[in-house]
Amino acid sequence: MKKAIVLGFEVPRGPDGVSIVALLQAIQDKYNYLPEKFLRRAAREMEVPLIDVYSVAKFYKSFSLVPEGRHQIVTCTGTACHVRGSEKITEEISRTLGVEVNSTSPDGEYSLKCVNCVGACASAPLVIVDGEYHGNMTPLKAGKLFAQGAKGKTAVS
């Protein structure tokens, strides 16, 4: 792949050089969020108005402007998962861990996000904990998945 180094990040290059979206992705990958400092630097380095960088950062779902939790919990809310009851699973996780959807628990331990389809619909409904996929979830199983986690230990799989 064609790459370029911008602000010390390795960023894939397109036909027109590096795009701001690609640069922000590299930053997000490294820090798990987009620190303001870097957004300002990115704007200067790429010579784009700061407002454009900020609006890109807020437009796309995979960017976050606040630090995300140490454990990333993603529930799938795609159609296949929805018809097999994913809503209740999200609720159950949210309740067990005390995290609102699309936010991070106050202790910085968990972030709960919803995505629309991770492409494993055959095993719907799905929950992904720190990159590990758990299929055929039920509210009960989901609750158990985190039962220990809620007591202060890390999430179990």
Partner 1 sequence: MAPLPVKFKTKEDFLSFKQRSIEQYEKNRCYLAVCGDTGCSVQGSKNLYDQLEIYLRKQGYTENVKLKCTGCLGLCENGPLVIVYPQEIFYQRVEPEDIEEIIEKTVIQGEIIERLLYSDPVSGEKYIYGRELPFYKSQLRNLLEANWKIDPGSIEDYIANGGYAALVNAVTEMDPGAVVEEIKKSQLRGRGGAGFYTWVKWEECRQQTGRKFIICNADEGDPGAFMDRSLMEGNPHSVLEGLIIGGYATGAQEGIVYIRAEYPSAVEKLKLAIDRAEDLGLVGENILGSDFNFQVYLSIGAGAFICGETSALIASVDGRIGEPVQKPPRLVQNGYLGRPTVVNNVESLANVPLILRDGAQKYCRVGTEKSSGTKIFSLVGKVNNTGLVEVPLGITLREIIYDIGGGIKEGKQFKAVQTGGPSGGCIPASSLDLPTDFDQLSSAGSMIGSGGMIVMDDETCMVDIARYFLQFLADESCGCCFTCREGISRLLEIVKEISDGSAKPGQLELLKELAGVVKDSTMCGLGQTAPNPVLSTLRHFEEEYRAHIEQKHCPAGVCRELITYSIDQKLCNGCGLCLKNCPAGAVTGNKKEPHYILYDKCDKCGVCTTVCRAEAVIKQ
Partner 2 sequence: MVNMILNGLDISVEEGTTLLEAAKFYGIDIPTLCYDETLSPYGACRLCLVEVGEPGKAKLFSACTYPVREGLIVKTNTKRVIDARKMIIELYLASCPSSKKIQDLASEYGVTEVRFTPKNDECILCGLCVRVCEEQMQAKAIGFIDRGVNRYISTPFERQSEDCRLCGACMYICPVCQARCQGPREEETICNACLNISPPCLEKYDEAMCYMDPCVACELEKEPDE
Q: Which of 72, 103, 135, 150 contacts partner 1 by CB under 8 A?
A: 135
| Beta-bridge mates of residue 6 | 9
The mark string for 16-55 relative to partner 1 (x by CB under 8 A, - otherwise) is x--xxxx-xx----------------------x---x--x
Are the CB atoms for 103 and 112 separated by under 8 Å? yes
Residue 87 three-state SS: helix
Tell me which residues in 75-114 interact with ligand FES (CB under 6 A): 76, 78-81
Q: How far is the CB of 101 from partner 1 (least distance, A)?
A: 12
Q: Which of 10, 31, 55, 148 contacts partner 2 by CB under 8 A?
A: 55
Region near partner 2 per CB under 8 A, out of 1-9, 54-62, 97-105, 113-121: 54-62
**φ/ψ bin of 117: left (φ > 0), alpha (ψ from -120 to 50), beta (otherwise):** left
Which among 62, 75, 73, 76 is positioned nearest to 33, based on CA atoms? Answer: 62
